[in-house]
Structure 1
């Protein structure tokens, strides 16, 4: 849901928010100690990014359409661009199965775990202001957290807390799928997580976990005295110049928007999840945006426009939890592409930036149904980058893609 590392609902995958029985809220935990951090700066120079000519566009069209057909994706919008190379902006398929309305690049979409990038940005802004510190224990801000005196804000943002992922809890899954309109409070979500023992010592391993982001959202509220939604909408969304991005307070969904389709249902059949209440994802996956805003956000996120250079440098240090992929502070680096993915019932997103080419790639689609064990957002990312950056192909291993 909110993510999956394949996609809070994605992890490495998303590193999205997904539900446990479907791999929605869990992440990959390595069998050995995590390798030492590597930085984005160490990435090799990218080969020349191609001009997005009509010939390249035709190859991209074919690649996108093949993924759509193979993965049975109803509709998708894609934006790819780089300075001096032109741009490729396309919409394919349908936005509403009931009316056959076509997908269009001006529709609002739920962005799942891309929300994590906004929540962590808010926390890092507070760090820059001296109102919080990355090495503060979460227990300083939130009571009752297992190992709360030792788990730091850095470990929460870097998915190294060892806490159980609430969206992998069976009772949570049943509660959500039996009543998709239910409103979950952050405290309720934490109760699902804290009913399980911790999985490992703080900092000892990597596990994509939506619980971490719920706690970071509460940190923002504690420090600022404001609701997370209000702070993010003003200090991150508006500050970044985004016009069609919002942190909703309920199930509201601005029009026009695409309908989303999921099989993460009580019956196991595919349903329209457009109006499901995203409160269960909250700081991990509740936000809404559109293609133009996500194109802008991809660069802002990867280049650190809203943060000091020192804090951005901390953010993009990654632990390479998977071959070719690593996770920093609410951000991943997959073969040089920096950003995040997201998955929420009915929707997936991929929002990434390749610094060496100053290239932006955004993919938004209206289903979260996996295809042969792979997230469709990852399949699109792989197909597109195979065409334009064959030396930097975006791909998230299946085992990393089980959480949001």
Structure 2
């Protein structure tokens, strides 16, 4: 009898250990009630600060709503409280949706990723550039085209006149490429302006028609361009924080492929599941989109085909963000926990922006603590090979980042003027990764080539790669 009890006890212990090991395969999330209370607290805190008019937060796990709530207002008089069915600007999340449309057209044989810009848009004026630039370059931020927005947007602000196709063409024709197509990564809107023109020419239909056919109809979503949703009473007004005052800002109605789409936060929180499961495009196309882009310069970019890749506090994620002076839309999926987090804000130029809100929500959802690497011991590494000047291709010299070493505290500093006191102390996390206290959710990664030489640094904002700066010395 005693032996039976021993065998039973050992069997029970084995089962408990087995179950524990199985559970470790997928990180556990906090209970939903705890999540709701914590995220509500975060949302209310940002509203109390008075630096944002309104925003919406949605979290979906395993294709079920884990959280969905809205805060603030969508009108300047503060008479319409923000609701979960209100529409916000997707901003550059539109790029991911647009690239998804491109991949569907590739599947249908209407487009090819290696088609040249000249073939896709025969009237593109600069034939030399048009022959070099491929469709894949346009949607992977590797075209070398100069950013149009700083010039044409400022003309609109000054004159109120929306840019035309001729304006875009004249701009591109008057500027040289900043680098050879495929050589480097640089985030610009220009490729996606042309992408929308390409889709319309290839399909012989307005851009919205392709959004409906490829995305909305198979998924049940309701993505619509701001130009057609502007008068919808559920469309949030747009605002900007200026001199501590929130003022209404006009919607820019001409934007299409690079940032003109609108939707609710909860619809976007369901987007990755439909995007991944074959509802809109094949899983093969999806995997192409999320794959890092191999650069001809000898290393890779974490930006795929309209997709930002990265990790938030060690948890892999992919998706997209969008904004102007600050971020006002975030949609990222965490495949390890089958969870998507979306934050959409209706205010520009605010510290209470979508990326800041997203980061605090992600800490709660992923059960993480705010990072603080100040007290960790220094990594015993020779940092001298990282010292130097770094600049994005085509940028002006005043944007050069200087990495300098301080002998006294044995830290690197990120500066723009080579003065330690004006710089940001960098904390070494090992393997070429660094943390800066001022931006706790950001990281800096140094890039080596095949000869083990430092050739660039990548800046990750809130987990995703945003900037690539090349070593200049």
TM-score normalised to structure 2 length: 0.65
Q: Does 1:340 align with 2:320?
A: yes
Which SS does the other structure have where 1:239 is aligned?
A: helix
Which SS does the other structure have where 1:311 is aligned?
A: helix
159-168 vs 132-141, greater mean Cα deviation:
132-141
The match for 1:317 among 279, 282, 291 is: 291
Q: Does 1:355 align with 2:335?
A: yes
* Offset of residue 205 of structure 1: 0.8
Q: CA RMSD in A?
A: 3.3
Name the structure 1 match of 2:156.
176
Q: Is the 8 A contact 1:78 1:89 kept in 2?
A: yes
Q: Does 1:294 align with 2:294?
A: no
* 1:85-110 alpha-carbon deviations (Å, 9 max, x no partner): 86111111222231342111111212
Name the structure 1 match of 2:224.
246
Q: Is the 8 A contact 1:162 1:198 kept in 2?
A: yes
Q: Does 1:261 align with 2:243?
A: no
Name the structure 2 match of 1:157.
139
385-394 vs 140-149, greater mean Cα deviation:
385-394
Name the structure where strand makes up a greater proportion of residues. Answer: 2
Q: Distance in 2 between matches of 1:149 and 1:49?
A: 51
Q: Distance in 2 between matches of 1:331 and 1:253?
A: 30
Name the structure 2 match of 1:308.
282
* Offset of residue 83 of structure 1: 2.6
Which SS does the other structure have where 2:233 is aligned?
A: coil
Q: Does 1:397 align with 2:461?
A: yes
Distance 1:186 1:337, change over 3 A: farther
The match for 2:125 among 138, 144, 162 is: 144
* 1:30-81 alpha-carbon deviations (Å, 9 max, x no partner): xxxxxxxxxxxxxxx9852414432232222233334455582221111113
Q: Distance in 2 between matches of 1:68 and 1:262?
A: 15
The match for 1:382 among 330, 338, 359 is: 359
Q: Distance in 2 between matches of 1:384 and 1:308?
A: 31
Q: Distance in 2 between matches of 1:139 and 1:392?
A: 50
Distance 1:361 1:253, change over 3 A: farther
Q: Distance in 1 between matches of 2:181 and 2:285?
A: 22
* Offset of residue 261 of structure 1: 0.6
Which SS does the other structure have where 1:230 is aligned?
A: helix
Higher relative contact order (CA 8 A, sep 6+): 1
Q: Does 1:276 align with 2:251?
A: yes
Q: Is the 8 A contact 1:51 1:86 kept in 2?
A: no
Distance 1:151 1:361, change over 3 A: same
* Offset of residue 286 of structure 1: 1.1
Distance 1:136 1:338, change over 3 A: same
Distance 1:263 1:162, change over 3 A: farther
* 1:238-278 alpha-carbon deviations (Å, 9 max, x no partner): 23211x321254573422222221258xx9975312x4332
Name the structure 1 match of 2:92.
113
Name the structure 2 match of 1:4.
none
Q: Distance in 2 between matches of 1:229 and 1:141?
A: 19
Q: Does 1:97 align with 2:73?
A: no
* Offset of residue 134 of structure 1: 1.0
Name the structure 2 match of 1:326.
302
Q: Is the 8 A contact 1:115 1:286 kept in 2?
A: yes
255-264 vs 127-136, greater mean Cα deviation:
255-264
Which SS does the other structure have where 2:73 is aligned?
A: strand
Q: Does 1:205 align with 2:184?
A: yes
Q: Is the 8 A contact 2:333 2:340 kept in 1?
A: yes
Uncovered stretches (5+) of structure 1, i.e. residues with no partner: 1-44
Q: Is the 8 A contact 2:137 2:182 kept in 1?
A: yes
Distance 1:270 1:95, change over 3 A: closer
Q: Distance in 2 between matches of 1:163 and 1:55?
A: 47
TM-score normalised to structure 1 length: 0.76
Distance 1:355 1:190, change over 3 A: farther
Name the structure 2 match of 1:13.
none
Q: Distance in 2 between matches of 1:400 and 1:70?
A: 29
* 1:175-203 alpha-carbon deviations (Å, 9 max, x no partner): 221244x3332332343343222111111
Count of matched residue pairs: 346
Distance 1:378 1:249, change over 3 A: closer
